[in-house]
C-alpha cells in the first residue's frame, strides 16, 4: 500500500496523460471489436468536437490544479475533513472511504445539481446532445461545465479532507470509468448487471443518455453505483430501447457542430419530454 501511496503522491504528468490517451485508445479499438450499436457515422469526424472538449477540460483542470494542491495540503496539515475525524483505521480503508466520498461530491452531486438547476442543465446539455455515444463522449463537457465540476471536486477535497494521493487515485479511476461507461461496447448482460451492484456499468450509464425523462434524470454516478441506489436515482432500461440525445434538441447536425455546441448553453431552457 505504501508503494501505491508514494506513486500517486508523485505521479508524473506523463503517466496521467498516458491513462487518458491510453484509455481512449483502448476503448476506441474495443468499440470496433464488440460494438453495442452499429453507428453509421464517420468515427473521426464524430470524435472531433468531443476531443476538443476533452482538451479544454484538461487545460482548465491544469490551470486550476494549484487550488486542489493548496486545499489538500491544508486539510492534511490541519487534519480537517470527515475522514480525518474518524477513528484510526487501516490505510486501505482510509483510501477507499476517501475515493468513495470524493466520487459523491465530484461526480454524483455535481451531476445531480446540473440536472436540477435550469442554468446548469443548459451548460450540461452539451454532454447529452451526442447522438452517437462512444468513449470520446465521456469528456464532452462545455468549458463552463469543466469549471463547475472542478468547484464541486474542490469542495469535496475540503469537506472530505483528502490528501493529494487520494485525489490522484480518484481522478485516475474517474478517467477510466468515464471512458468505460460511455464506450460503445457490448458487455455480456449478466456481467454488466453484476458490475452495477457496486460500480457504474456501461449499460447502467447509457440509461442516463436516453433522450426522454425520467431516464435522463437517473444514474448520475461515475465510479460507484451506490449513490444512485442510496438516493433513489437508480433506473433500468433495456439497452436495445435506448435512444441517445435530448428529444427537445433533435438536430443531429447542429449537435455535432463545434460552434453550435459552444453556443448551446445560451439557448432557451428545454428539458427532455416525459414518457407518456
Sign of CA dihedral 212, 215, 220, 224: negative
Supply the pLDDT for residue 226. 97
pTM of the predicted model as reported, rounded to 2 decimal places: 0.95
Supply the pLDDT for residue 273. 84
Supply the pLDDT for residue 271. 75
Asked if 122 and 262 touch (Cβ cutoff 8 Å), the reply is: no
Supply the pLDDT for residue 276. 54
Supply the pLDDT for residue 134. 97
- Residue by residue, pLDDT tens for the chain (276 residues) are 888 888 888 898 889 999 999 999 999 999 999 999 999 889 999 999 999 999 999 999 999 999 999 999 999 999 999 999 999 999 999 999 999 999 999 999 999 999 999 999 999 999 999 999 999 999 999 999 999 999 999 999 999 999 999 999 999 999 999 999 999 999 999 999 999 999 999 999 999 999 999 999 999 999 999 999 999 999 999 999 999 999 999 999 999 999 999 999 998 777 788 875
Amino acid at each position: 500500500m505504501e508503494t501505491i501511496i508514494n506513486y500517486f503522491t508523485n505521479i508524473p504528468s506523463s503517466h496521467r496523460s498516458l491513462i487518458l490517451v491510453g484509455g481512449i485508445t483502448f476503448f476506441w479499438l474495443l468499440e470496433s471489436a464488440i460494438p453495442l450499436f452499429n453507428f453509421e457515422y464517420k468515427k473521426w469526424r464524430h470524435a472531433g468536437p468531443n476531443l476538443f472538449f476533452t482538451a479544454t477540460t484538461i487545460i482548465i483542470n491544469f490551470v486550476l490544479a494549484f487550488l486542489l494542491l493548496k486545499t489538500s495540503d491544508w486539510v492534511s496539515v490541519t487534519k480537517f475533513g470527515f475522514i480525518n475525524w474518524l477513528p484510526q483505521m487501516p490505510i486501505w480503508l482510509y483510501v477507499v472511504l476517501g475515493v468513495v466520498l470524493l466520487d459523491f461530491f465530484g461526480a454524483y452531486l455535481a451531476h445531480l445539481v446540473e440536472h436540477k438547476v435550469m442554468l446548469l442543465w443548459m451548460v450540461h446539455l452539451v454532454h447529452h446532445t451526442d447522438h452517437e455515444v462512444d468513449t470520446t463522449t465521456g469528456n464532452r463537457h462545455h468549458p463552463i461545465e469543466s469549471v463547475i465540476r472542478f468547484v464541486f471536486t474542490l469542495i469535496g477535497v475540503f469537506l472530505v479532507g483528502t490528501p493529494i494521493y487520494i485525489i490522484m487515485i480518484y481522478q485516475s479511476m474517474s478517467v477510466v470509468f468515464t471512458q468505460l461507461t460511455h464506450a460503445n461496447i457490448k458487455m455480456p448482460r449478466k456481467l454488466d448487471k453484476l458490475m452495477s451492484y457496486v460500480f457504474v456499468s456501461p449499460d447502467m450509464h447509457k440509461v442516463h443518455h436516453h433522450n426522454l425523462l425520467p431516464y435522463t434524470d437517473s444514474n448520475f454516478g461515475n465510479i460507484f453505483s451506490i449513490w444512485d441506489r442510496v438516493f433513489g436515482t437508480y433506473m433500468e432500461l433495456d439497452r436495445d430501447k435506448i435512444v441517445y440525445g435530448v428529444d427537445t434538441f433533435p438536430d443531429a447536425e447542429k449537435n455535432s457542430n463545434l460552434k453550435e455546441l459552444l453556443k448551446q448553453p445560451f439557448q432557451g431552457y428545454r428539458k427532455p419530454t416525459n414518457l407518456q
